[in-house]
Homo-oligomer: A and B are copies of this chain.
Amino acid sequence: MTTAELLPISIAPVPPLSAAEQKLRTAQDLFIRRWGEMGQTWGINRTMAEIHAFLYVTGKPQSTDDVMERLNISRGNASMSLRALCNWGIIERQHKRGERREYFVSLSDVWEMFSIIAAERKRREMDPVLETIKQCHRMLEEGSLGKSAARREDVALTRQRLAGMEEFMSVTNKIFQQFIGNAKSGLTRVVKVLLKAF
């Protein structure tokens, strides 16, 4: 009994990679790994970032199995991470005619991707902070504290600090807003303007 008979199904004969294919793959892997590392330090888990990098850099629709194989991860992990990326909206499901399995593709426009991510993070992480700062401010106003208390040195200091932070967050928010607002339509213009100005 041969190995082929014992394992009749799997282990399709993998076509050997040409030199060019190998180099392509190496370059892609390099990018994928770096992207994963970067993701980690920005609060995005490594695997998700890597999957995204893989879909983005190959530019081709890839199946769950492609992802599993390329990144050496389990089916469960692949499934959950792919779904999360779909929910973010930076990759999309794609059905192939007459094929049962699903494929995934990354958005091709980096700017669009970034603006989607920016919008979400602004909403979830920056807006609440700004809201909290305003709330703190209100708590320390004369109206809620009384005149004499509001003039206490420590109260004044804290209010001052809160004001500084609020100003900063407002400006940052505006920049994000600019990117987000112009997501599809005018991002290339934003880019051009920025490139010209700096």
Contact = CB atoms under 8 A, between A and B. Distances in A.
A193 B109 CA distance: 23
A30 B136 contact: yes
Interface residues of A, number: 75
A111 B169 CA distance: 10
A160 B57 CA distance: 9
11 contacts: A19-B149, A20-B152, A23-B145, A26-B139, A34-B133, A58-B157, A58-B161, A171-B194, A174-B198, A193-B193, A193-B197
Interface of A: 18-21, 23-24, 26-28, 30-31, 34-35, 38, 40-43, 56-60, 108-111, 114, 121, 124-126, 128-129, 132-133, 135-136, 139-140, 144-146, 149, 152, 154-155, 157-158, 160-162, 164-165, 167-168, 171-172, 174-175, 177-178, 181-182, 186-191, 193-195, 197-198
